[in-house]
Structures are given as structure tokens and as C-alpha cells.
Structure 1
Amino acid sequence: MTGCPARYDEELGYWIVDDPALAREVLLDPETFRPDNAVLAHTPLSVKALRVLSAVGFALPPTLANNAGESHRPIRAAVARFFSPARVAAVEPLTRSLTASRVAEAVTVLARGGQVDLVEAVAAEPPALVVLDLLGLRDVDVPALKAWSRESLELFWGWPDEDRQLELAHSAAEFYDWLRSRTTAARQDPGDDLFSVLVDLGLTDEEVCAVGYFLLIAGQETTTQLISTAFHRTLRPAGSRAESEPGDGVEGAGEHPAEVVEAVLREASSVPTWRRVTAQPAVVGDFELPAGAPVLLGLTGRGGPADLAFGIGIHRCLGAGLARLEARVALECAADLLSAVHLVEEPPMIELLSFRAPQRLRVVTRSNTSDN
């Protein structure tokens, strides 16, 4: 993407809005710029993939991110209660404990001369365990949830070919089937968890599953990606600079963890873009867009405020405060580890339409760089 405030990208098939002020205007006008395409598959799904999803009744009716109707407000209010400032603040000790234990395990492996992938070892599971705790969900297979999440992001925001789509569709169908089972259990034996609250709200099974589907992805996988990006910002490749000069030449070194998080949100958030579609002819900058024009908004890395990474207006991310807290705590807990290691390689990246982060961060201690 260039610095042009708005333009049409033929390869992507979207009107690109790079200017932060214009992106903000678009987000604050949901009647003109609707969220109907927010969770549609960027790469049209093949017939085979659709059949797999159809077999489990997979459906994503308007609920949260893709909802511009009257039902949005009560659904959002019900979910927002799980992410109140008080509840988020109260979960910091759990976040710290989960992260610190994983950092300690990583330090042990590194001390023995091994390599550690900081994404898998430290960043992956704590956000999932924390959001499950906040949502009152127990007995969840966290590795399965992580795999479902990554694969669903690729299915809906990636460029998979038909064979890969079929694999991803089977994963999404498995996830959706699990969501249906939790919805059924909530109807039979209601409690105070997410599914019970949504059932009590009067939502259909499909609506409950749709909320659960993307909330359980967005509520933890994007935070894992934010933490991974923040870790990457503080690391350097093996062989760079002298060990006697910790922090020298390292972008992010010496910054307070909260400052690193804000810098990442401004410059390289894990959610760099988001989608809208025009409900009627509209003007963006100097361009006139027809009705039905798909729009891709640049949220980060274009000189805008850090807060824009979470959106603005009625669809602002409900987990913004939680994500900031978890990323800050991760950097605090891993500070000593990060200052003592080198990257083994420049990491491969997750490169999706609206998600970007290091896929892995393999590190060794500086004394073991010869093992590279």
C-alpha cells in the first residue's frame, strides 16, 4: 500500500483507504459504510468447501463485527459485560501467572542450550486461557482452539487454493460443531458463561455460534499475534551487535513495555486493515465510490493513533483493554529473557488480508549463537 489516502486496488478488489483521518470517518459512519463484508471469505469458497461447512449447518448471521442492524446493540452489550474494565483489571494476576510460568519453562530450555519458539512457548496459550476464564468457559481443548483459530483466519482472510480451502473448511466445520454442542449444553443446563448469556438473550443457535466463532478467535488469537509482534520488535538477529551492548540498535529496546505495545499498535498492529462496504454512493477523500463498493481501511502504520488499531465507533474492539494488558504483561514477564537471546532467523510471517504477525520466533541464548 502506498501513501495515497484512497485508491482502487485491482489486484485486491478493494478501494483502499490509507489516510487515518479518512479511515476514522468511514468507521464512524456505519450507515453509509456498512460492516456486511467484515467476516466474508476474502477468497470465494469452493463448492467442496461450502459442502463441508453446510454439512454442519455453518452460518454467520449478523451478530457483532458484521452487524449493522438493531440486534447489534443488545448483543454487544451482553458480550461487553465480560470485558468490563473491572473484570479486565482483575484478570491481570492470572495473566501474569500464566505468562511467567511459560517464560520460566523457556528459560530452562534455553539454559540447556536448546532453541525456543517464543510464539508457541510463551505467546500462544495465555491469551486463550485468559479469555476462556473471562467468558466462564471450562474444559476447552486449548491447542484445538488455537488450531481452529489460525485456520479460520486463513480460510476467511487468506488466499488458499481449493485443496487448502477444503482442509481449512474441515477445521472450521469441526470448530462450528463444537460451538453447537456448547450452545445445546447451555440451553439444557444454563449457567453464567458466554453461551448461556447469549441463549438467555433469545438468540438463535446460529447467532450464538456466530458470536462464539469470531469472539473466541478475535479474543485470543489476535492478542497472541500482538504479543508476538511486540516480542519481535525487541529482538535482533544472531550475530548483530556485541553482547556487551544489550539493547543497542534494537528497535524497542529501553522502552517501557506499555510504550512498546503502543508503538506496535501505531506502526505494525496484528490487525492492520479492516473491511467495509458502501450502502450507497459515497465520497472518500477526492473519490466517489458507487454503492456496493468494498473498502479496505488501513488501521496501523500510517501515522494514525494507536487506538485506531482497535477500530472506533459502534464496532470498536471490545477486547482493546484486555489486549493491551496482556501484551504489556507478556513484555514485563519476558524482559530478562528477551534481553538474553538472539533470533535464529528472520521469522516467517502470517500474511493475511487483515492479519499480520510473526509465525514463529525461534531464539537461542547469545552464548549459543554458534548453534545456528
Structure 2
Amino acid sequence: MSGCPARYDGELGYWIVDNPTEAREVLLDPATFRPDNAVLAHTPLSVKALRVLSAVGFALPPTLANNAGESHRPIRAAVARFFSPARVAGVEPLARELTAARVAAATTALAEGEQVDLVQAIAAEPPALVVLDMLGLADVDVPALKAWSLDSLELFWGWPDEDRQLELAHSAAEFYGWLRKRVVQAAEDDLFGVLVRLGLTDEEVCAVAYFLLIAGQETTTQLISTALHRTIGRRPADVVEEVLREASSVPTWRRITSRPAAIGDVELPAGAPVLLGLSGHGGPADLAFGAGIHRCLGAGLARLEARVALECAADLLATVRLVEEPPMIALLSFRAPKRLLVGLQPG
């Protein structure tokens, strides 16, 4: 646990808060530590990238993660109904069915002498299919959603150069264009229909859906990937909670001071960008999902899906070995194995 409540990192450009107690206190004070920078691009976007986004009307007005205003509560309440404890519990059979089928296919491939990427084989698609079911969204190209999600995470939390930014901006624009079409096609009881009936503008509906469809499945895929990595060749208990404490897929999150503020005995000026350590600093597992009015709405779902994945894959994980050191997704606020290539253990 860090002894310094806040320190400035000139390379990152943030005040770093690693102490879990201080990080939680910051999250519980959204009036002082506002979420206005929560979904801004960490690497400023080039003019060319901005033009690509502007051409499709891309906009991220305050809705959920980046909203501390009066509109936050009704939007959050509308979305929270999709993730009630009863709905989360009710989706476990689907999560188990989807995961078990993929584990069976991976087990067969391994038995036939193939190497298998556990991220793509097991962790990638079930969280997307589950959250789409919960949100009432059918006819979604899941591989496209997965690609859009990874590209958007890199665009907003990575360090892409101008050429890469342009590629990522085209992907984000394609995703946003698809969202706009889904608003027009909204059913009464799906995510888009509920938000339209709430009186949100098209831009606000798209902003909610943009990050909800990413966070609702890609961060869970990454949580499962890390849990699978830690379990290869062994059968430890409580891996999900261990990962959340030590190596969450969302290890940091951002805030900005609305006025001069103190973190411990460190004085910050107004407008100071703050990077909070949510995992890996001796804090509780639950801090990985944030705290206060912006706590992750899908916390219970993520825990359930990760637990189901480990239960379904337990026998397979006990018999495989890593073929290579996993390449990593390593962004400002997202970290997980990009690939987990395994083969059967010898003998």
C-alpha cells in the first residue's frame, strides 16, 4: 500500500492515488472529484481522427460514467433495471450453457493435438452474448462488436500514434453509425427503447450504449482471461476475488478536481487530473468496480460470469500448459492477456 496519498506523474500527466482508502474517498466525492474526464481520450486525438468521428456525428455527452449532473440518476436507474440481482441470477444457465459448449470444443481440439487460444475459445464471446440477451438486443454481429470494443478501448485509453488513431477512429465511427441505426430500430423493451422513452436525445442514447456495450462484455472477457491465466495447471480457490484484488481488468480510473482539494495531506489545484488505483494496491476486491454513484452496474454479472467460466473450464485448465508468454492488453485503464495459447501437458 502506497505511503503517499497522491503523487504527480509527469509522464502520464496525472496525480496518482494508489492508496485504496484514499481512492475510495475520491470516488465517494463526485462533486469535488468530477468524472468529466472519465471517457476522454488519454492521447489527444489528431485532426484527421476527429474529422472521421465528426462525419458520423460522434458525441459522448454526459450520461453515465462521465456524468455528475442531475440527469445521471434517472439514466442510471433505467439501465440498472437490466442488471437487477434477479436478472443476473436468471442469466446463469445461459452463461453456463454458452461457456460449457466452448470448453467442450476447446477440449476436443486439444485432444486432437491442436493448440488453443483460451481467450478466443472460451472468454471472448459468452459475455457479449449474455449482456446482449439481458439488454434485449438481437441480430448483433458479435465478432464485430468485439473488434469495435477493443479498438475503442485503445482509442480512448491507449497511446496510438496518428496513423493508428485514424484506423481506430474509422472503427469507432462504424460502431457509432451502427448505434444510430439501432436507435431508429429500437424495440419498446430493449436498451434503446427504454432510453428513448426516458426522453434522451439520440446522442445521449448512443453515448449510453457505446460504453455500456463495451464495458458490459469486454471488461468481463478480460477479467475471465486473467482468471484463466492464473488457473492454468492448478485448481486454486477464490481466483475471481484474487484477480479483482490484485490484477483487475480495470486497474485504474480517472477523475478531475472541480476546485482546490486535498487528498490526505497533499493539496491539489482545481482542474487537476487524478488517476485512481483500483486494484493491485492491497485494497478490497470490490474496489475494482468503483464506489459511490458511479459504481459498476455490472459488478454482480461480471463476478457470476467469471465464476461460471472457471467452473466450466476447471478440468481443462488442470491439464494444459502455456505455449508462450501471453501478450498483454496494456492500456491506461485496461489490462489483461490478449492471448492465452495452450496445449496439453506432456504425459
Equivalence for 1:244: none
**How far did residue 367 of structure 1 move?**
2.4
The whole-number CA distance in structure 1 between the counterparts of 2:236 and 2:212 is: 34
Q: Secondary structure at the match of 1:367?
A: coil
Question: For each residue in 1:248-275, what CA deviation from the matched residue of structure 2 results, as whole angstroms up to 9, or x when unmatched?
Answer: xxxxx331xxx11001000100000000
Matched, 1:273 2:252: yes
Q: Tell me whether 1:202 sits opposite 2:199 in the alignment.
A: yes
Structure 1 residues 314, 76: closer, same or farther in 2, change over 3 A? same
Counterpart Cα distance in 2 of 1:3 and 1:322: 34
What residue in structure 2 maps to residue 250 of structure 1? Answer: none
**1:298 and 1:38, CA in 2 relative to 1: closer, same or farther beyond 3 A?**
same
1:218-257 to 2 correspondence within 5 Å? 218-235=215-232, 247=234, 253-255=235-237
TM-score, with length taken from structure 1: 0.92
Q: Counterpart in 2 of 1:299?
A: 278
Per-residue CA shift, 1:273-314, capped at 9, x if unaligned? 000000000001221000000000000010100000000000
3-state DSSP of counterpart to 1:296:
strand
Specify which of 304, 314, 324 is matched with residue 303 of structure 2. Answer: 324
CA distance in structure 2 between the aligned counterparts of 1:286 and 1:356, rounded to whole angstroms: 30
Whole-Å separation in 1 of the counterparts to 2:5 and 2:57: 41
Q: Which residue of structure 2 lines up, in the alignment, with residue 240 of structure 1?
A: none
Partners of 1:336 and 1:289 lie apart in 2 by 51
What is the distance in 2 between the residues matched to 1:171 and 1:265?
30
Mapped partners of 1:79, 1:212: distance in 2: 10
Q: Deviations over 1:216-237 (max 9, x none)?
A: 000000000000000011125x
Is contact 2:240–2:303 with CA below 8 Å preserved after alignment? yes
Q: How many residues were matched structurally?
A: 347
Q: What is residue 26 of structure 2 aligned with on the other side?
A: 26
Per the TM alignment, residue 191 of structure 1 is displaced from its structure 2 partner at its CA by 1.8
How high is the sequence identity, in percent, across the aligned residues?
83
Q: Which residue, 201, 206, 211 being the options, matches 2:208?
A: 211
What's 2:328 paired with? Answer: 349
Match in the other structure for 1:165? 165
Cα offset, 1:2, TM superposition: 6.3
Q: Which residue does the alignment assign to 2:75?
A: 75
| Residue deviations 1:131-171 (CA, integer Å, cap 9, x gap) | 00000000000000000000000000000000000000000
Say if 1:355 and 1:3 are closer, same or farther in 2 by CA, change over 3 A. Answer: farther
Distance 2:236 2:334 in 1: 27
Structure 2: which amino acid aligns with 1:290?
A: P
SS at 2:306 equivalent:
helix
Structure 1 Cα separation of the partners of residues 136 and 188 of structure 2 = 9
Structure 2 partner of 1:243: none
State the 1:4 CA deviation.
3.4
Which residue of structure 2 lines up, in the alignment, with residue 119 of structure 1? 119
Question: 1:108, 1:175 → 2: CA distance?
Answer: 35
Deviation string 1:67-102 (CA, Å, 9 cap, x unpaired) is 010000000000000000000000000000000000
CA distance in 1, matches of 2:292, 2:248: 19
- 5+ residue gaps, structure 1: 237-246, 248-252
Taking the aligned partners of 2:154 and 2:119, their CA distance within structure 1 comes to: 18
Q: What is the rounded CA distance, in whole Å, between the counterparts of 2:77 and 2:150 in structure 1? A: 27
**1:74-153 aligned within 5 A:** 74-153=74-153
Tell me the SS of whatever aligns to 1:350.
strand
Aligned to 1:290: 269
The offset of 1:3, in angstroms, is 5.7
1:261 aligned residue? 240
Query: What is the letter of the counterpart of residue 292 of structure 2?
Result: G
Counterpart code for 2:338: Q
Q: Aligned partners of 1:72, 1:2: CA distance in 2, in Å?
A: 32
Question: Aligned AA for 1:225?
Answer: Q
- State the partner residue of 1:192: 189
Say whether the 8 Å CA contact 2:2–2:19 is kept in structure 1: no
Q: Secondary structure at the match of 1:363?
A: strand
Task: Look up the equivalent residue of 1:233 and give its one-letter code.
Answer: R
Q: 2 CA distance for matches of 1:254 and 1:358?
A: 19
Q: Whole-Å Cα distance in 2 between the matches of residues 175 and 133 of structure 1?
A: 19
Q: Distance between the aligned counterparts of 2:326 and 2:47, measured in 1?
A: 34
Residues in 1 aligned to 2:3 and 2:103: alpha-carbon distance in whole angstroms: 39
Q: CA RMSD in A?
A: 1.1
**Selected match of 2:338 from 342, 349, 359:** 359
Give the Cα separation in 2 of the matches to 1:285 and 1:218.
31
Q: Distance in 2 between matches of 1:310 and 1:147?
A: 23
> In structure 1, how many angstroms separate the alpha carbons of the residues matched to 2:221 and 2:3?
28
